Chain A
Amino acid sequence: MDIAFDRRADDTLVVHLGGNWNIANGLAATDELEKLLATKPLPAKVAFEAGKLGDWDSSLLAFLSKLAACCSSKSIEVVSRGLPTGVARLLELASAVPENKDARKERRRAPLLSRVGEAVLEAGQAIEEMLVFLGEACISFCKLIRGKARFRGSDLALLLQECGVQALPIVSLISLLVGLILAFVGAVQLRLFGAQIYVADLVGIAMAREMGAMMTAIVMAGRTGAAFAAQLGTMQVNEEIDALKTMGISPMDFLVLPRMLALVLMLPLLCLYANLMGIVGGGIVGVAMLDISPIHYFNETVAALRIMQFVPGLIKAVVFGILVALSGCLRGMQCKRSASAVGESATSAVVTAIVAIIVSDAILTVIFDRIGI
């Protein structure tokens, strides 16, 4: 990578190029040349002499194109006759399409106030989008009731299986452990005044009214809500959703509705199953740690759990199902067109779902207390 200059009498700066040029060795610096090109009197032309040039690659091209740009800004003529023909032709190709000046984007940091303003406007827009999505979901649901929504039954069947049967192992494990934990915490306190047997009441009621629905919903938010967001997000990236729209098929009916149905149908069932597993977990603690006989524990649980105790839990499960499905689908549909956007929408689906679950749980608990169920 050798560069030398000499200035001829006829105002020409001759650049001598020699040696091997390889990007592995870095690019040649143009500082010295630029200084030469800036010293008055300016040369009228730049010419090249490349007799000793060995192997070369893009590093030579990069050097020359930078030089050419520098010359053209000072309106110095570049005579490329001395260059190997390949170099000259590649440089020509590189400048064949003029640079798109409008396209060049500036990366400027906006002032604090305008960033705050934009964030507020964005938040407003996000809320609007959410409301629009909710509205569309309601319309789709009405269409379903009138029998006009179009989606494939086989999709629904597959989704039911995904959100139902395939979730059983993880739901079993989690709710069994939650039952165990509840029983443990309760047992320590209740033993203080010899009321161990009420562990059965505690676990039964807590699972049926609260923990069963909540834990199942949280598991499903992580498992299924994220999956929904990633599926729809990927479809958004591949323009599959656009393809549905142009065929006149509403993605709301075709994609969102079956997912909502599947979760709304399956979450209450999973919740009942979780209640059972939680009670079994409590029973294990009761029998193993508190020496209550299994029959005794069973009878106590049955006595504590009137059928009405299951109603709040089941209502909650239905609401949570709607919320998990909605947040998964909403974030999926909002996904931008890149791989990292899919990741973000999956994350934000889970976060949205969990926040929605906890908030609505608080509200529902207060309402149930007021109306006395």
Chain B
Amino acid sequence: MDCFDKKQTCIEVRDLTMAYGDFMIQHDLNFTVNRGDIFIIMGGSGCGKSTLLRNMVGLQPPARGKVLYGGASFWESGPEEKKTIMRRFGVLYQSGALWSSMTLAENVALPLSEYTRLSQAEIAELVSLKLALVGLAGFEEFYPSEISGGMCKRAGIARAMALDPDILFFDEPSAGLDPISARRLDELIIELRDSLGTTVIVVTHELASIFAIGNNSVFLDAETRTMIGVGAPGELLKESRDPKIRRFLTRGEK
């Protein structure tokens, strides 16, 4: 699969319209995510950010439009191609979605044992490393029901990173985290991008982290049901005339 070559463009979203049945959520979304971007999806609660992620990672077909990965349209490719593309994803779901009957170590190890030929000991080493990266060293043998909400989130991040994916999708990774852990998570995201070249797509409401990590973003609006801004968050704040975007990026001042 050459669609993940060192090309600049990584994901293109073209005229994407998403709906649940007849209920349209967002229409005519157009944006491009470049390789190595940290791309932020913003917008008020309930405007369709999680739904957009579901459309992008291949869980829900769009009502209209395309999602292109390295030029290949995801929803028009065959099942095998879809699988190869999806193998390059790491996804953190908004609710964590850890497998409740497995320990944290088993949660992170499952993708590794499915897709690599590593031995048990090697997998255990990698699992410890990934858990340490999200600050959960020593919690290998815990079950998801035995750890806190923020810890579940972080374990979900460790699982998403298990296979060193090319593209990471994080749905509100810092919701439920203390400011210090949230900051450390931002650093981790930046490091992953800088050193492994991972493209990261983040849904978040955290203004501090939007400005700290994002180098491109799209703003979804719930009323007009489409995107009303695209660009680097800092520039959106400086240049956008749209009162909704300004209010969002200044926490409701003016």
Contacts and interface: CB of A to CB of B under 8 A. Distances in A.
Given A89-B191, A107-B141, A339-B100, A27 B125 contact: yes
A86 B132 contact: no
A26 B101 contact: no
Given A89-B191, A90-B195, A94-B132, A27 B122 contact: yes
A98 interface: yes
A103 B163 CA distance: 26
Given A23-B116, A27-B118, A105-B141, A87 B164 contact: no
Contact of B184 (A65, A66, A85, A93): A93
A145 interface: no
Nearest to B139: A103
Given A27-B118, A100-B139, A340 B101 contact: yes
Interface stretch (A55-63, A184-192, A219-227, A269-277): A55-63
B118 A104 contact: no
Contact of B133 (A87, A90, A338): A90
B205 interface: no
Interface string B194-205: 111000000000
A249 to B, nearest CB: 23
B143 interface: yes
A352 B118 CA distance: 44
Nearest to A338: B100
B125 A62 contact: yes
B126 interface: yes
A24 interface: yes
B100 A58 contact: no
Contacts of A86: 191, 194-196
Contacts of A341: 100-101
B126 A101 contact: no
Interface residues of B, number: 38
B95 to A, nearest CB: 10
Interface string B116-144: 11110010011011101101111111111
B145 interface: yes
Nearest to B163: A23
Contacts of B144: 338
Contacts of A337: 100, 145
Nearest to B101: A340
Contacts of B136: 97
B242 interface: no
B118 A23 contact: yes
B167 to A, nearest CB: 14
Contacts of A89: 187, 191, 195
Interface in A87-127: 87, 89-90, 93-101, 103-105, 107
B125 A104 contact: no
A95 B132 contact: yes
B188 A93 contact: yes
Chain A interface size, as a band, is 35 or more
A54 interface: no
A343 to B, nearest CB: 9
A341 B119 CA distance: 30
Contacts of A336: 145
A108 to B, nearest CB: 12
Contacts of B116: 23-24
A65 B129 contact: yes
A23 B126 contact: yes
Nearest to B125: A62
A26 B117 contact: yes
Interface centre among B100, B139, B140 (most CB of A within 10 A): B100
B133 A93 contact: yes
Interface string B154-187: 0000000101100000000000000000001001
B9 to A, nearest CB: 21
A337 B96 CA distance: 15
B145 A338 contact: yes
B132 A97 contact: yes
Interface in A135-160: none
A58 B137 contact: no
A237 interface: yes
Contact of A84 (B128, B132, B192, B195): B195
22 contacts: A23-B126, A26-B117, A27-B122, A57-B164, A58-B130, A58-B164, A59-B126, A62-B122, A65-B128, A86-B191, A93-B191, A94-B132, A96-B184, A97-B135, A99-B132, A99-B137, A103-B138, A104-B140, A237-B100, A338-B101, A339-B101, A341-B101
* In the complex, the 8 A-B pairs of residues with the closest C-beta atoms, listed nearest first: A86-B195, A337-B145, A97-B135, A338-B100, A340-B101, A100-B138, A99-B137, A94-B132
